[in-house]
Amino acid sequence: MSEPAEMPEVTIEGLSASMASAVRRALGGRSIVLVGMMGAGKSSIGRRLAIALDIPFLDADTEIEKAAGMSIPDIFESKGEPYFRAGEARVIARLLDGGPQVLATGGGAFMNEQTRAAVREKGISIWLKADLDVLLRRVKRRADRPLLKHGDPAETLEKLMAERDPVYAQADLTIGSRDVPHEAIVGEIVSMLAERLAVAEVGQ
């Protein structure tokens, strides 16, 4: 039996398998690193992006928990935030050697200058940028974020966004994370990556 030649295999809405594999090839050993605020959708979009590109997905927070043998709320509670941040930077530095992969980072990770340098060297960073009201709606679904344990979550998020947004803006690509199906965002990311990687190849 012969294969139908002209039938593009569609992996997710509007995204052809050939575009996904071209992006995967162009990535080489680099990681796609998702950065942005809590609630921006780094893990849920990252997981789907990895499926679309057929590369592994890793969540830095989960890997930190594995390395510490403790949950993130417990690390904050018993060891404090500076200890968490040091571990976070170490774990991400190690994970970046494992590309190609999609790596979702915790909201504060990209604030570390060494982490940003390592991401620049070994990955392509994508800021998932979401409005405060979208973030707020999403973070309310989970009660395990230590930074939102005290005080008014809206105020805390707003303050963190003011500090962090200029730093997230240093990411290679920015995608608006809004309330549309995740597949739509994944499609946009793959198209932007295709464009970006092709441009980089021409420029070399």
CA angle 71, 79, 41 (to 5 degrees): 40
Beta bridge partners of 104: 34, 59
- Output 39 or 100, the one with its CB closest to ligand S3P: 39
Q: 10: left (phi > 0), else alpha (psi -120 to 50), else beta?
A: beta
Q: Site map for ligand S3P, 87-126, x if CB under 6 A?
A: -------------------xxx------------------
- Output 28 or 82, the one with its CB closest to ligand S3P: 82
On whether the CB atoms of residues 68 and 106 are closer than 8 A, the answer is: no
- Output 72 or 190, the one with its CB closest to ligand S3P: 72
| Least separation in angstroms between CB 152 and ligand S3P | 16
User: Of 15, 33, 50, 72, which one interacts with ligand S3P (CB under 6 A)?
Assistant: 72
Give the SS3 label for residue 107.
Answer: coil
Largest CA distance in the chain: 65
- Please give the residue ranges that form the binding site for ligand S3P (CB under 6 A): 38, 42, 61, 72, 106-108, 145-147
